[in-house]
Structure 1
Amino acid sequence: MKKNNYSITFVLPRPSIGYPVGGYNIVYQIAHNLNKSGIKTAIIFLKDASIFIPNYKEINVKKSGIGIREKGFKVLFVVFNNRRIKTFYHLRLYRFLGVDYDYSILDNVDCYYYKGIENVNIKTDLIIATAWQTAYFVNEFVKNFKSKPFYLIQNSEDEPSFSGINSINAEKTYHFNFKKIVINKKLYNRFKNEDSLFFHVGIDTDFFKIKRDINKRGNVILFPLRRNLSKGAKYAIECARKLLTYDSKTEIKIIMFGEYKINEIPGDIRDKIEYHYIPTNKQLLELYNKASIFVLPSLVEGMSLLPLEAMACGCAVVVTDNGGINEYIIDEINGLICPIADAECLFNKVLYLLNNKQKREDLVKNGLETVKQFSYQQMNKDFINLIKPYLEDNSASK
């Protein structure tokens, strides 16, 4: 059977059914733009990335989104097993799951769904791992196919708070003989002796924008609640609890959104907050535009895009010094920074902004200027400039 040829192929752990997480969305945006620019690009989704990982440890995680989305995965595995999965996105089947993400972005991207190396039926000049799990697949792939391996590292995935009991497995991937592409200075400095490539990811600045006057929002504080321990949900809850029990002269409203079911939120605050379970993109835009202050409690981030989205919508942001935030937040200029795992600091910074309207407005103004530097357009331009020399080198060697 004739194999399709590609210049670049990204490898993702598994297909996304709902709204894709940040790292997936970045790959989708870049792959779409590469094809649009004439660089033939594909995406491989893995059915089970763990089969390529020696000594992989199963993680017993309480799942969110059980029900229609998990059933969607089961149908996906049966119908599209070991075949192109592009049909699933092309027919807009995800809409039956209530998903508002525009997967038409993948219409110009060939997508494959593979179980093992023996199922692979493509050729590619460059193959790019996008997570520590996919690095093991790529490591096996280059033993069987003549491709240059790259590693898009979007976070410190070997942090125990991120990869848990598999942190050692994650750390081992950083010793694979891959060309690394990183998205923050912390990672760049970590791998500085390896001549790593560096670029910044971005957000949809055409979508995330101010829809509601920042002076008509009141004392509304917005928190994300995400399950991975690295996202610091417990500190968001602690901060919210302090705000709710604070004797304020004016009402403080807490809005939270994320992957927790409402009955998983502690009972002492559950009925005192507004909560949105896995909001759609349009709903998230509305939430940003309701809030005056956005709080990010993460312990570790590659380059969190949630604060950028919030800033684009006119929020003042309070964030933790989580490793990726320093790519665009300058303390006291366009945001306020706290140490990680410090709910007391988050609480005090939020109170400070609630009581200092001028400071809040200054942060918003500077934040809006910052966001202009982190658009999809700039991200795509930077990535092409970064990767093109390696495509040219490969063409010259043929």
Structure 2
Amino acid sequence: MQPEQNKIVFLLPWRDEVPVGGYKVAYEYANRFYRDGWNVTICYPHVRGSFKQDIKNPFLRLKMRVGFFYRFFKNHYKAGEWFPLESGIKKFFIFAISDSALRDYKDAKIIATAVETAIELNAVRSVPNANKFYFIQDFEAWNVSENAVYVSYRFPMKKLTIAPWLRERVESAGEKAELIPNGFDFDYFTLSKTVENRSPYEIAMLYHKDERKRCEDAMKALELIKRQIPELHVTMFGVPEPPSDLPDWYTYHRQPSKTLHNAIYNNAAIFVAASKMEGFGLTLGEAMISGCAIACTNNGGFSCMAIHNKTALLSPVFDTEALAKNILRLINDNEFRIKLARAGNEYIRQFTWEKAFESFKTAVNR
């Protein structure tokens, strides 16, 4: 008789149509569990947890359910199309996370990947607490209050998190969390152009509309430098449309391909980021892999990889002049830029997906 296949379910907060960092990490784990022989399901609710609580009108509830089932049976639902998921992974579209939705997964390991999915999973009684896991990738106080986030840290489920600063937040709520830093795909991102042969005037940065990314601060710092160094050129990439007032010394690439994404990083001497808060900071690591020297702000996520004067130059959040000063130092001191880029490239190589997956698998099996 064949042993029963291990099952794991990843609860995502919504259907994704474009690349999202937290989803990328969940998908990477899903692929690796599948290759390890697990039965893997990714669950997408139609109704977000925070919104469901606000639906008081029974007719609106009925309308939403009818809309969901119409789209479901018409096969209109799509998600994760931008990521190369293994074909054997099941995508499960449900109206909401509930006992009935998860009734066939009582013996599976259930991974809540966001605060809203943790809140919903906590209310599910058909799944034993021993099979509930809360994968904390950021301090997610944008759809719920900060207090609600801290309350979620006290739910009776095992907590896994990606960064020391997030583990500290969980501990401040009187709970424990296992630290499992993210990995990077060293086959996807590569160093193809030597750091010595890059123009110090070539800058790369991510563009994002999330206010926490503080892209406007990075752009202000670069504007200060442009006044001193007319040769400065910035290549920016991201998911949204570019800003309407983007200066002509910027080049913008929307949702670049793998080849172009690598070319952006490898053409740049310096990668700039000014976030006030990051769960981990995937683009920072990608830039390090690709040989960029890093000038960024000092926040919990970046500090997983960015060590001042060793693997990066750090400046206080919101301090555009300090950020500009650090960028200028890297432009003007080529020897130091090369040293920093090499150190970052060496340091980031400890963050492998193989190590992360083994730690994650051990945690859910313990």
TM-score of the superposed pair, with normalisation by structure 1: 0.79
Conserved? CA contact 1:6–1:42, under 8 Å: no
Name which of 258, 261, 267 aligns with 1:281.
258
- Judge conservation of contact 1:329–1:335 (CA < 8 Å) in 2: yes
Q: Specify the code of the residue in structure 2 equivalent to 1:139.
A: N
Where does residue 12 of structure 2 map in the other structure? Answer: 12
Correspondence 1:177 to 2:156: yes
Residue 256 (structure 1) aligned to one of 203, 216, 236: 236
Q: 1:336 to 1:111 in 2, by over 3 A?
A: same
Structure 2: distance between partners of 1:190 and 1:165: 16
| Structure 1 letter corresponding to 2:194 | D
Residues 240 and 165 of structure 1, relative CA distance in 2, 3 Å threshold: farther
Q: How far is the alpha carbon of 1:338 from its aligned partner?
A: 1.0
Q: What CA deviation, in whole Å up to 9, does each residue of 1:328-362 have, x standing for no partner?
A: 22110111111111111111100000011111111
Sort the Cα spacing of 1:130 and 1:382 in 2 relative to 1 into closer, same or farther, 3 A: same
1:156 to 127, 135, 139: 139
The percentage of aligned residue pairs carrying the same residue is 26
Assess if the C-alpha contact under 8 Å between 2:150 and 2:170 holds in 1: no
Moved more, 230-239 or 251-260: 251-260
Does the 8 Å contact 1:235/1:297 carry over to 2?
A: yes
Q: CA, structure 1 residues 42+164, in 2 after alignment: closer, same or farther (shift >3 Å)? A: closer
1:190–1:10 Cα change, 3 Å: same
Q: Deviations over 1:296-352 (max 9, x none)?
A: 111111111101100111100111111112222211011111111111111110000
Unaligned runs of 5+ in 2: 56-66
Question: Which amino acid in the other structure matches residue 341 of structure 1?
Answer: F
Which of 193, 197, 213 is the aligned partner of 1:212? 193
Question: Which of 228, 233, 251 is the matching residue for 1:247?
Answer: 228
CA deviation string 1:358-385 (max 9, x = no partner): 1111111111211211122222122122
Quickly say closer, same or farther: Cα 1:109–1:164, change in 2 above 3 A.
closer
In the TM superposition, 1:16-31 aligns within 5 A as 16-18=16-18, 20-31=19-30
1:199 to 167, 170, 180: 180
For structure 1, which runs of at least 5 residues remain unmatched after alignment? 57-74, 390-398
Seen in structure 2, the aligned counterparts of structure 1 residues 34 and 165 have a Cα distance that, compared at 3 Å, is closer
The count of aligned residue pairs is: 345
Corresponding residue for residue 63 of structure 1: none
What residue in structure 2 maps to residue 350 of structure 1? 327
Structure 1 pair 54–170 and aligned structure 2 pair: CA distance change class (3 A): farther
**1:51-73 per-position Cα deviation (integer Å, ceiling 9, x unaligned):** 665459xxxxxxxxxxxxxxxxx
Aligned partners of 2:215 and 2:274 also within 8 Å? yes
1:230 to 196, 212, 218: 212
| Structure 1 contact 227–259 (Cα < 8 Å) conserved | no
Residue pair 2:139, 2:149 contacting (<8 A) in 1 also: no
Partner AA of 1:213 in structure 2: T
Which residue number in structure 2 is paired with residue 130 of structure 1?
113
Aligned pair in 2 of structure 1 residues 283, 167: CA closer, same or farther (>3 Å)?
A: farther
Question: For 1:131 and 1:80, how far apart are their aligned partners in 2?
Answer: 23
Alignment correspondent of 2:362: 385
Given that 1:225 and 1:236 are in contact with CA atoms closer than 8 Å, whether structure 2 keeps it comes out as no
Q: Which amino acid aligns with 1:16?
A: D
Q: Secondary structure at the match of 1:361?
A: helix
**Matched ranges for 1:320-331 at <5 A:** 320-331=297-308
Cα separation, partners in 2 of 1:52 and 1:119, compared to 1, 3 Å: farther
Residue aligned with 1:156, SS: coil
Match of residue 32 from structure 1: 31
Aligned amino acid, residue 190 of structure 2:
K
Q: Cα offset for 1:79?
A: 4.4
What secondary structure, in the 3-state scheme, does the structure 2 residue paired with 1:370 have?
A: helix
Q: What's the CA shift string for 1:225-271, capped at 9, x where partnerless?
A: 11111111121221122122x223x6111122224423x34x3x522
Compared CA separation, residues 344 and 206, structure 1 to 2 (3 A): same
What's the CA shift string for 1:202-231, capped at 9, x where partnerless? Answer: 111112111223233211011111111111
- Cα distance in 1 for partners of 2:159, 2:321 equals 37
- Residue 59 of structure 1: aligned partner: none
- Measured at CA, do residues 82 and 185 of structure 1 come closer, stay the same or move farther in structure 2, by a change above 3 Å? farther
Q: Does 2:293 align with 1:316?
A: yes
Q: Specify the alignment match of 1:72 in structure 2.
A: none
Whole-Å Cα distance in 1 between the matches of residues 280 and 207 of structure 2? 17
RMSD: 2.8
From 276, 286, 290, give the equivalent of 1:299: 276
Give the partner amino acid of 1:221: I
Q: Distance in 2 between matches of 1:84 and 1:151?
A: 29
Task: Tell me the distance in 1 between the aligned counterparts of 2:5 and 2:211.
Answer: 40
Contact 2:34–2:86 (Cα < 8 Å) also in 1: no
C-alpha change, 1:293 and 1:348, in structure 2 (3 Å) is same
Q: Is the 8 A contact 1:258 1:277 kept in 2?
A: yes
Match of 2:108, SS? strand
- Alpha-carbon offset, residue 25 of structure 1: 1.2
